[in-house]
Amino acid sequence: MKILAISGSLRSQSSNTAILRATKLLAAPGIEVAVFDGMGDLPHFNPDFDEIDVPLPVSEFRDAVAAADALIISSPEYAHGVPGSLKNALDWLVGDTRFAGKRIALIGLEGRAEYAQAALRETLRTMSAQLVEPACIALPHHARLLDVDRLVADAEIVTSLRAALSALVTAKGE
């Protein structure tokens, strides 16, 4: 199974990206988790280029999403909303029919992204994604302070991430 992990943060030391990298390390055999690292390369969404002259970074992103059986999105919250870079990436997927029905897990931090998670849920439902609720988790607040090595050494976090992965993998695709 192929899973594409998307961080809503562009920060080099993002806790959301670290969580996704830890998830990649914790994946069971047969589960391939690829962390998308081209978010900052996506141009601003412009419907004029949605079908004709699609920018190369957008085509590559769409192809990566299409090749994945499922997605994991981990995102911070800015001003009670989804970061602009993540919303922009999702806007580029709206016109791509290969996205509809894609299984999605949302991973957040307790008390850190309630509004962004709600907005993401609404956007993803509108885009006909399949939110796998048992795979949507909030990690303990202290996870934001940990790097990848310390995340995979924290038993509580490991248990949560493995359970989310398992739920995403075993969910029935639409």
Look-up of token digits 């998307």: 6
Residue 174's pLDDT is what? Answer: 56
- b (16+ CB within 10 A) / e for 110-122: eebbeebbebbbe
Rounded CA gap, 33 and 158, in Å?
15
Query: What residues have CB less than 8 Å from 134, skipping those under 6 apart?
Result: 163, 164, 167, 171
Rounded to 10 deg, the angle between the 56-67 and 84-94 helix axes is 80
Task: Quote the CA–CA distance of 77 and 55 in Å, as a whole number.
Answer: 27
Over its length of 174 residues, how does the chain's per-residue pLDDT go in tens digits? 999 999 999 999 999 999 999 999 999 999 999 999 999 999 999 999 988 899 999 999 999 999 999 999 999 999 999 999 999 999 999 989 999 999 999 999 887 788 999 999 999 999 999 999 999 999 998 898 889 999 999 999 999 999 999 999 999 865
> How many other C-beta atoms lie within 10 A of the C-beta of residue 149?
11
Token code pair at residue 133: 């609720």
Structural domains in the chain plus CATH codes:
2-170 (3.40.50.360)
3-state helix, strand, coil in the chain (%, to 5): 45, 15, 35
φ, ψ at 4 (rounded to 5°): -100, 125
Q: What pLDDT shows up at residue 62? A: 97
